[in-house]
């Protein structure tokens, strides 16, 4: 089996590549051209995969890639994935996260409609939530240009499934984290900040809205759900979530507590990190995935927080030695 992963240098792309390699897949990773290569998350598997330059902004590069390698499965994980950037770069975010999906689907339609497709949709599409918990039938109300672009990406995936009979799947994934999470996302910002404070490298952590609530899971569990969707006879849409919700403050408290620190002495709020429109509460209902995909979690919230703090402590302690 050959799989193409866009966004292979990202958090999810790297975990998915790890998992597919273990299953015996041949992996083609799509990377965009950069003056300096940043393959930190896939350095350990670089010799076992094939990296090819192409860009979500460039239709022909995607067609050529799919034509040359003819993958059986395509996982479209590449995106401008940071919500605050989407207010500063709304047009670019739309190009990547909305029209980019159409470019991927057009390439599949042109080359071979039997290629199975996974689209990385997001719980940000629920935004100002219309019900709690959110499931596949909950109406969308996105609150950022990122969320709006992802709604487009979701519906174009559904549309190509219905119009051309493509095995096109939309995974509506709630927040998922890991030691490989980007440093600007709140979980990693917190665990990295805790490690720096514990090691005496910093004395403060500036955050935005501590009241926002998220349904946080472990990325390693979520990439398994992506693969499971593509192994089903019928394509579909699936919410992937833990079903639990916790505030940013809960995360902070647990992360500082894990290294015996009282967060109230270190955390300050900074209006720079407060968003023009917030998603106050996310909590997913993954019943469909549990029933149809037999998908299950292996890491709970507390284990996730501790895993991330421990990983940052170890990384920083080694770096300062």
Distance from C-alpha of 185 to C-alpha of 203, rounded to nearest angstrom:
20
- 246-247 and 213-214 beta bridge pairing: antiparallel
Residue 56 to residues 30, 172, 225, 258, Cα–Cα distance (Å) = 9, 20, 24, 41
Query: Least distance to ligand G4F from the beta carbon of 40, Å?
Result: 18
Per annotation, catalytic residue among 122, 123, 144, 170: 122
| Residues in contact with ligand NAP by the rule CB under 6 A | 6-7, 9-13, 32, 34, 38, 55-57, 77-81, 96, 120, 122, 173, 175-176, 182
Per annotation, catalytic residue among 146, 160, 238, 263: 146
Q: Quote the tokens at residue 186.
A: 């709140």
Q: Which entry of ligand G4F, ligand NAP, none binds 71, CB below 5 to 8 A by partner kind? A: none
Distance from C-alpha of 181 to C-alpha of 41, rounded to nearest angstrom:
10
243 binds ligand G4F (CB under 6 A): no
Angle at 16 between CA 42 and CA 67, to 5 degrees: 90
- The conformation of residue 18, written as its DSSP 8-state character, comes to H
Query: Least distance to ligand NAP from the beta carbon of 151, Å?
Result: 12
Of residues 138 and 175, the one with the C-beta less far from ligand NAP: 175
Query: Least distance to ligand NAP from the beta carbon of 173, Å?
Result: 4
Burial per residue of 159-168, b for 16 or more beta-carbon CB atoms within 10 angstroms, e otherwise: ebbeeeebbb
DSSP-derived 3-state class of residue 120:
strand
Exactly one of 32, 109, 113, 189 binds ligand G4F (CB under 6 A); that residue is 189
Q: Which entry of ligand G4F, ligand NAP, none binds 140, CB below 5 to 8 A by partner kind? A: none
Contact 31, 236 (CB under 8 A): no
184 binds ligand G4F (CB under 6 A): yes
Per annotation, catalytic residue among 86, 121, 124, 178: 124
- The radius of gyration of the chain from alpha carbons, rounded to an integer in Å, stands at 19
Which residues are registered as beta bridge partners of 75?
5, 118
219 binds ligand G4F (CB under 6 A): no
| Residue nearest to ligand NAP according to CB distances in the complex | 10
Helix 11-22 to helix 219-230 angle (10° resolution) is 60
Of residues 205 and 223, the one with the C-beta less far from ligand NAP: 223
The answer to whether residue 122 is catalytic is: yes
Q: Which entry of ligand NAP, ligand G4F, none binds 9, CB below 5 to 8 A by partner kind? A: ligand NAP
Exactly one of 111, 115, 195, 212 binds ligand G4F (CB under 6 A); that residue is 212
Contact 285, 239 (CB under 8 A): yes
Exactly one of 25, 104, 119, 124 binds ligand G4F (CB under 6 A); that residue is 124
Which H or E element spans position 26? strand 26-31
Distance from C-alpha of 220 to C-alpha of 124, rounded to nearest angstrom:
20
The answer to whether residue 121 is catalytic is: no
Distance from C-alpha of 202 to C-alpha of 214, rounded to nearest angstrom:
27
97 binds ligand G4F (CB under 6 A): no
Q: Quote the tokens at residue 41.
A: 């998350």
Q: Which entry of ligand NAP, ligand G4F, none binds 189, CB below 5 to 8 A by partner kind? A: ligand G4F
Exactly one of 74, 156, 186, 228 binds ligand G4F (CB under 6 A); that residue is 186
Query: Least distance to ligand NAP from the beta carbon of 118, Å?
Result: 10
The answer to whether residue 15 is catalytic is: no
Contact set with ligand G4F (CB under 6 A): 81, 83, 122-124, 174-175, 184-187, 189, 207-209, 212, 214, 248, 273, 275, 278-279, 282
Active site residues: 122, 124, 146
């Amino acid at each position: 089996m050959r799989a193409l992963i866009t966004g292979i240098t990202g958090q999810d792309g790297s975990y998915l590549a790890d998992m597919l390699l273990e299953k015996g897949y041949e992996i083609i990773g799509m990377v965009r051209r950069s003056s300096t290569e940043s393959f930190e998350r896939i350095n350990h598997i670089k010799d076992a995969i094939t990296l090819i330059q192409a860009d979500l902004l460039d239709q022909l590069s995607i067609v050529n890639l799919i034509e040359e390698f003819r993958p059986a499965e395509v996982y479209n994980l590449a995106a401008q994935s940071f919500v605050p950037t989407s207010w500063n770069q709304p047009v670019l975010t739309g190009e990547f996260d909305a029209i980019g999906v159409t470019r991927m689907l057009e390439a599949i339609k042109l080359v071979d409609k039997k290629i199975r497709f996974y689209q990385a949709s997001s719980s940000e599409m629920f935004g100002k939530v219309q019900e709690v918990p959110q499931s596949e039938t909950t109406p969308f109300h996105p609150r950022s240009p990122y969320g709006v672009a992802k709604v487009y990406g979701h519906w174009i995936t559904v549309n190509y499934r219905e119009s051309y009979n493509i095995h096109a799947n939309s995974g509506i994934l709630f927040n998922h984290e890991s030691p490989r999470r980007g440093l600007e996302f709140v979980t990693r910002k917190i665990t990295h900040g805790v490690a720096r404070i514990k090691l005496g490298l910093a004395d403060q952590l500036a955050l935005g809205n501590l009241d926002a609530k998220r349904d946080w899971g472990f990325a390693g569990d979520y990439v398994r759900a992506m693969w499971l969707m593509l192994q089903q006879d019928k394509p579909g849409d699936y919410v992937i979530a833990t079903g639990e919700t916790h505030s940013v403050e809960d995360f902070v408290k647990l992360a500082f507590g894990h290294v015996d620190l009282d967060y109230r002495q270190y955390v300050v709020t900074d209006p720079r990190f407060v968003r023009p429109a917030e998603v106050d509460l996310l909590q997913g209902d993954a019943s469909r995935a549990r029933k149809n995909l037999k998908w299950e979690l292996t890491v709970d919230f507390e284990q996730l927080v501790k895993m991330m703090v421990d990983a940052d402590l170890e990384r920083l302690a080694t770096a300062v030695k």
